[in-house]
Structure 1
Amino acid sequence: MTVARLNRKMSDSANNSPRRQWCALIASGLLVAAAALQWPAVAAPPSHAAPAVDAPGVLQATDRQRQVARMTTRFVERFHYGRQTIDDRMSEQILNNYLQALDGNRQYFLESDIAYFSRYRHSLDDVLETGDVEPVFDIFRLYRLRAQQHLAFAISQLDKQPDFTIDEDFRFDREKAPWIATPQDMQDNWRRRVKNDAVSLLMADKTWPEAAGILHKRYERVLKRINDLDSDEVFETFMNAFARTLDPHSSYLSPRQSEEYRIQMSLSYQGIGASLQLDDDIVKILNIIPGGPAAIDGRLKASDRITGVGQGTSGEMVDVVGWQLDDVVQLIRGPQGTTVRLQILPANAPPGSQEQVLSLVRDKVKLEEQAARSEVREIKRDGRTIKVGIITVPSFYQDFDARSRGDEDYVSTTRDVRRLLEQLNKQGIEGLVMDLRGNGGGHLTEATGLTGLFIDTGPVVQLRDTSGRVEVLPDPVPSVAYAGPLVVLVDRFSASASEIFTAAIQDYHRGIVIGQQTFGKGTVQNLYPLDQYARRQTEPGLGQLTLTIGKFYRVTGGSTQNKGVVPDIALPSGVDPDEVGENSREGALPWDQINATRFRAAGPLDSAIAYLTQHEVERMQSDPDVHYLLADIEAVAELRSQKTVTLNLKKRLDERERQKKEQLARENARRTAEGLTAVESLDKIKPEELPDVLLKQATQVLSDYVALDQAGKALARNNVVH
């Protein structure tokens, strides 16, 4: 589409439209009357009146934003690995991503609003090329108007207690639902949402007046957050919608966000060691950082939702639903050694579940807590004891500063694991489990170095850049530190450097991979501070761009991107691969392959894998821990499939009680089968008391592998003798 055609289309169809006029009124700082929008009028009741907020400021594009849009387009076309064409097809996806970022749960925009936005469906590519980003703000202004209307209506619903005995449902997951068609249907959806929010609070032992007060403040906060969004924040949201059409790991940070990130990294204040993101008014745990307080504590998990934050051991628990992400982060951060309490809804908790409160002591992410660690277990097998070693590697770390100073004793994954292997070999282990569950990656050099501890010599991974040039990264370690039977245990959260190591072990036939299919993050990113690349700047501070510039490939030629590493022996998992993993993310680059590089693998393990798989299947059928895990997985899957929840308070309470009883019954059945004492409540069980089912299975597979390996060696010796 040409710029002239874009301008003509916008002039003909946009400037004279009623919706364009509505948005112009909003841009002038005036709130549009509900009646003017064919919107059923809502009288503000005296006790829960609509909030007295200042009219939001006029949002307009700046020259700096126009320059950033043009520069980003050129950078993407030149440097991004995918080499996508920025055209009308991409424009459609950019629009979809932008609407998803603004209204991911489809609770603000009407179907008619989406029809109105269709005028931009094939023009956002031109917006980026020319820097004329006015359509970005046109869309946002209507979003802000809808938020004002719906939240004012929600607050009005708090003036009268709903009837919680009526049998009606609320669809809490609308991400893939049709856009709501009429204002009347939208009001009914918001009425049900308010009622559902109230039911959740009543189930947490709040009275109706208390619940109404909490929700009033919550909805006011959401409205204030939306009204307070400035031009840079809106532009950043759009630019990240564009970046997500390229791949999930490309992004844009505005000048202010870039500076805040830099400042936060230099502050003496500490947090809990978790990355957070805002997801439909609720702050969610994106991932847990190895070595941080949350990782050490072990209770907080990815996708858990934070609904409250309290200071110290007894400070007031502040409801943070609807808060800005930065404000929640500021509440969580604080002086090192102080306590912060988090009120959370676990990721797998059913609707209406009681929130949990976790106390964590703020601290730095400690390198020593990320360090690899080992243990030895003795496994009974056919009347004998097999001694196996376990090395857990939380991340691929390296003390880069110490190494740069020339410190010969700098800490790194490869060095630590070599030392642990020496200790385990002295203890006489007959087999080894490398536990990489939850290991999200780290230093590439540590992935190649760790691989070198287990193979003689050869390439470890291939790296292809945007130009198509392929670099082969070799094993940098001259000697093998462990040559015995090896099992690598992975899960869906094993990513990046973990996948490079695991893939190499699998391709060299050096060991057997068990667990779940890994994450599938096989790309390389580079950071571009745009100020350094601008020939001239309309305004200072252009922000920074992160682009994917390369892809990892196995020595056999297949990429780890999207597909990850498929285990030789699969173990059950409660993680839904359609929700977690690269292939679940919009815009993920596809799997592909290049030519294999030359390497020398050991003999194939196909027959050994078939034998071990058969034994593992038989073993799991009689293991009560596995039965308990499978029952839990089935229960969680059933909850995940639910899109609606009843608004009948008694039925919700009964359902929660039923789920608690079923979970307690499963746990006590497991305990009885293992000769343990039954418990009266799940609260009596400490997290460390629960069995690590997957690690137990890994050691059992390894002991079978050791026995098989020793039998094979004995047979070979007999053949030589005869």
Structure 2
Amino acid sequence: MLKKMGLGAAVMCLYISFNSSAFSPVKAYPAGDIQPDKNESEVCRLVVKMLSASNYKKVAVNDSLSALVFDRYLKSLDENHSYLLAGDVTGFEQYRTLLDDDLQNGNLAHVFGMFNTFKMRNEERLRYALALLNTDFDFSKKETYTPDRKEMPFIKTEAEMNALWSQRVKYDLLELQLANQDIAKNKEILKKKYQNLLDQSGKTSSQDVFQLFMSAFTASVDPHVAYFNPFNASQFNVGITRALEGIGATLALENEYVTIKSLTPGGPAYKTKLINPDDRIIAIAQGKDGQFADITGWRLDNAISLIRGPKGTIVKLKILPKGKSFSDGPQTVEVVRDKIILQDQSAKQEIRTCKSGGKDVKIGIITIPAFYLDYKAYEAGDRNYKSTTRDVKLLLDTLKQKKVDGVMIDLRGNGGGSLTEAINLTGLFIASGPVVQVRDVNQKIQVSQDLDPSIYYSGPMAVLVDRTSASASEIFSAAIQDYGRGLVLGSKTYGKGSVQTTVNLNQVVRKLAGQGTANADTSKQDQFGQLNVTIGKFYRISGSSTQHKGVTPDIELPSYITPSKYGEDNEPSAMPWDTIGKSDYTQTASLNKVVPVLTGLYQQRSQTNPAYKAYYNVIKAYQDDEALKSIPLNAQELKRVRDANAAKALDRENQLRVAIGLPALKKGEARPRTDDLDFMKTEAGQILTDYILSDKTSAGI
């Protein structure tokens, strides 16, 4: 991607040198406290240097930034103000203007000290909760519990904290009591829950603390700059490629056991016919002759790192099948790792028939969860490499064969991904021309083009977006809108108009070590993680940035998401909106005449169709529920409130179901999963249908 955009030079300046003598030794830590290692201190200084030298948004590492980092880090420790005491926080205040110096010197003593205080308070609370479960509870008292304490002050005394946690434990127990009156059983369930949390706290590593602090730092610089420790880096890259090399199983940690939750059909674990959901993995060995490591009680990320590995290699697992005990003996299963394609996270298609004026119109809907590209396979010349554009082309072939009248691209929830894929996907729907402009760290503007003059799909189309559509989604929808190639429908997008590149810190540190300018231990592979650096800013071909303002749909539809709570314009460290010059492009069509007509038809439906009123009521109720602050701890009162709310929710849903032709549900009846209740998709399909049936000549098409 960098080579294509001409941004490779931006990465080269990341290979900087610095004086390792600036390292500040960490303090001596009390026994049991988590402490940073030398490599984390080295990486901390390296990240600061790299961001200062090469990030698009230049931020001075000074007391002002230090205060922002302090507040973010404190929030990440105890956002709900339910663990730390006011005195703890007052004690932390001495670091508010010191963190900038700590960052530059690689001194992590203060932030690890803050975390260790939080860890101590967290474990105190969990032990207190466990002790409370040995007492009796009175569910007839008139009292309330406020679970959301974000805007409330930190608690001053231990007695007040005990009072809060007495309410919290009572609420947790009351939740179980409403479903099952067996108090002894419910207490045991909660004991296991609290004990598991306590055990997990004891497994917290220095990498966890370092990740938390570095996330607070990078987000204070730019909301899309990010440091990833080795495990999180691997997870991030799986998300980008939609592929990984492993056994094809989803895992979870349950009662100290790494447990199989699901299998990828056709994957290596599935093919053994010896591994099933709810089996427990108790030991792992590498290769045919490797020694087993007992992983009972391990952290999930550490276990996953042993199970994943290069395609074609062998991993041996000791499996305790579901329902079996240790006395039955584990089963050893040999699995040959392979490349796993995450199909459930790839583009999918469906066909809906919409009606208008007595006519049936077939709409093909392609849902794209992300803009993914298996760049490693692409670079290796693998003709079957995984990518959004390749998948969508195959789906378009299917829709063409089924003779759909129009296509809708659903980008709701699509947070972006590969810029290359956003450009290539746009090229399927337009003739050659510019797709997006990028201004780099040197303020040079480059235009990324679709160079293929052919149009893979030339029929009527729409793009469906919402507040969670971001980055590459905004590039694609903006280009379709600017060319007049199709309608953009839904709600205003996120507003992420910046481009990032990934820097492998393992390579950087090894290079610095070779120059004698690094102080880290480079003997181990992949231990430093990666850094995502902002290296450019996106602009539409019309010259307007997508940053901050996002893409405004041609026709806006109501959404559950509250814009004031989610989006780039809610990020304090976000870059501002601005404009540059327009690219040289020719519109496919002008939709200026048809959009008002389609808007009028939509508004008419919203005023006369009872389904619209029902849908608006559902949205309003959802947003009202978000505003609820306190919960009754009286069993009868809580049941009354829950029953009343459930009845209202069922009534609202039934109004919507009946209005769209579905049968009403009875109290307690299971809610079948159906896309028919996806009102935004349904209405977008209707608008596209109106568009298809409209007078295209008068619309200038």
TM-score, normalised to structure 2, is 0.76
Equivalent residue for 2:103, pick from 125, 128, 142: 128
C-alpha deviation, 1:444, in angstroms:
2.3
Equivalent residue for 1:28, pick from 27, 30, 42: 30
Q: Deviations over 1:216-245 (max 9, x none)?
A: 333333334334434343233222221121
Q: Deviations over 1:525-565 (max 9, x none)?
A: 22333343233334334443332222222112222233321
Alignment-derived partner of residue 203 in structure 1 = 178
Q: 1:641 to 1:368 in 2, by over 3 A?
A: closer
Q: Deviations over 1:304-332 (max 9, x none)?
A: xxxxxxx84799xxxxxx99674898999
3-state DSSP of counterpart to 2:586: coil
Q: 1:622 to 1:82 in 2, by over 3 A?
A: same
**Which has the larger displacement, 132-141 or 509-518?**
132-141
C-alpha deviation, 1:153, in angstroms:
2.9
Alignment-derived partner of residue 613 in structure 1 = 599
Alignment-derived partner of residue 680 in structure 1 = 666
Equivalent residue for 1:539, pick from 521, 545, 549: 521
Mapped to 2, the partners of 1:104 and 1:255 lie a distance apart of 26
Alignment-derived partner of residue 268 in structure 2 = none
**Which has the larger displacement, 509-518 or 232-241?**
232-241
Mapped to 2, the partners of 1:330 and 1:662 lie a distance apart of 47
Mapped to 1, the partners of 2:182 and 2:305 lie a distance apart of 30
Where in structure 2 are the equivalents of 1:91-170 lying within 5 Å? Answer: 91-170=66-145
Alignment-derived partner of residue 347 in structure 1 = none
C-alpha deviation, 1:99, in angstroms:
0.9
Mapped to 1, the partners of 2:339 and 2:647 lie a distance apart of 39
Equivalent residue for 1:697, pick from 670, 680, 683: 683
Q: 1:330 to 1:167 in 2, by over 3 A?
A: farther
C-alpha deviation, 1:112, in angstroms:
2.5
Q: Deviations over 1:551-607 (max 9, x none)?
A: 222112222233321111111111233444444456344433333322222554333
Alignment-derived partner of residue 389 in structure 2 = 414
Q: 1:182 to 1:518 in 2, by over 3 A?
A: same
Equivalent residue for 1:267, pick from 222, 227, 246: 246
3-state DSSP of counterpart to 2:563: coil
User: Does the alignment pair 1:665 with 2:651?
Assistant: yes
C-alpha deviation, 1:88, in angstroms:
0.4
C-alpha deviation, 1:339, in angstroms:
11
Q: Deviations over 1:595-643 (max 9, x none)?
A: 3322222554333222211210111233343333222212211110012
Mapped to 2, the partners of 1:90 and 1:582 lie a distance apart of 19
Mapped to 2, the partners of 1:588 and 1:182 lie a distance apart of 37
- For 1:709, the aligned partner's letter is D
| Count of residue correspondences | 604
Q: 1:247 to 1:609 in 2, by over 3 A?
A: same
Q: 1:238 to 1:430 in 2, by over 3 A?
A: closer
Mapped to 1, the partners of 2:450 and 2:698 lie a distance apart of 29
Mapped to 1, the partners of 2:449 and 2:70 lie a distance apart of 43
3-state DSSP of counterpart to 2:696: helix
Where in structure 2 are the equivalents of 1:269-348 lying within 5 Å? Answer: 269-271=248-250, 312=277, 326=301
C-alpha deviation, 1:645, in angstroms:
1.2
Alignment-derived partner of residue 571 in structure 1 = 557
**Which has the larger displacement, 199-208 or 418-427?**
418-427
- Whether the 8 Å contact between 1:523 and 1:561 is mirrored in structure 2 is yes
C-alpha deviation, 1:428, in angstroms:
5.5
Equivalent residue for 1:522, pick from 488, 493, 497: 497
- Whether the 8 Å contact between 2:227 and 2:532 is mirrored in structure 1 is yes
Q: 1:478 to 1:115 in 2, by over 3 A?
A: same
C-alpha deviation, 1:172, in angstroms:
0.6
- Whether the 8 Å contact between 2:41 and 2:108 is mirrored in structure 1 is yes
Mapped to 2, the partners of 1:381 and 1:326 lie a distance apart of 53
Alignment-derived partner of residue 609 in structure 2 = 623
3-state DSSP of counterpart to 1:433: strand
Equivalent residue for 1:186, pick from 140, 161, 179: 161
C-alpha deviation, 1:473, in angstroms:
0.3
Q: Deviations over 1:95-114 (max 9, x none)?
A: 11111121121111222222
Q: 1:232 to 1:484 in 2, by over 3 A?
A: closer
Backbone CA RMSD of aligned residues: 3.9
Q: 1:79 to 1:624 in 2, by over 3 A?
A: same
Where in structure 2 are the equivalents of 1:473-488 lying within 5 Å? Answer: 473-488=448-463
Q: 1:386 to 1:688 in 2, by over 3 A?
A: closer
C-alpha deviation, 1:386, in angstroms:
4.2
Alignment-derived partner of residue 348 in structure 1 = none
- Whether the 8 Å contact between 2:228 and 2:529 is mirrored in structure 1 is yes
Alignment-derived partner of residue 40 in structure 1 = none
- Whether the 8 Å contact between 1:169 and 1:647 is mirrored in structure 2 is yes
Mapped to 2, the partners of 1:331 and 1:221 lie a distance apart of 23
Mapped to 1, the partners of 2:376 and 2:111 lie a distance apart of 43
3-state DSSP of counterpart to 2:593: helix
Q: 1:382 to 1:675 in 2, by over 3 A?
A: closer
- Whether the 8 Å contact between 1:422 and 1:481 is mirrored in structure 2 is no
Alignment-derived partner of residue 334 in structure 2 = none
Mapped to 1, the partners of 2:183 and 2:279 lie a distance apart of 24
Q: Which runs of 5+ in 2 are unaligned?
A: 1-23, 254-262, 266-275, 281-296, 309-315, 324-337
C-alpha deviation, 1:89, in angstroms:
0.5
Mapped to 2, the partners of 1:147 and 1:422 lie a distance apart of 55
C-alpha deviation, 1:260, in angstroms:
9.4
User: Does the alignment pair 1:708 with 2:690?
Assistant: no
Q: 1:458 to 1:690 in 2, by over 3 A?
A: closer
Alignment-derived partner of residue 21 in structure 2 = none
| Identity between Structure 1 and Structure 2 (%) | 38
Alignment-derived partner of residue 594 in structure 1 = 580
Q: 1:512 to 1:259 in 2, by over 3 A?
A: closer
Mapped to 2, the partners of 1:499 and 1:98 lie a distance apart of 30
Mapped to 2, the partners of 1:423 and 1:221 lie a distance apart of 49
**Which has the larger displacement, 698-707 or 59-68?**
59-68
- Whether the 8 Å contact between 1:370 and 1:397 is mirrored in structure 2 is no
3-state DSSP of counterpart to 1:537: coil
Mapped to 2, the partners of 1:682 and 1:221 lie a distance apart of 32
TM-score, normalised to structure 1, is 0.74
Q: Which runs of 5+ in 1 are unaligned?
A: 1-9, 11-22, 30-56, 277-290, 294-310, 316-321, 342-362, 717-722
- Whether the 8 Å contact between 1:487 and 1:514 is mirrored in structure 2 is yes
Q: Deviations over 1:20-69 (max 9, x none)?
A: xxx99xx433xxxxxxxxxxxxxxxxxxxxxxxxxxx2444443333222
- For 1:536, the aligned partner's letter is A
3-state DSSP of counterpart to 1:109: coil
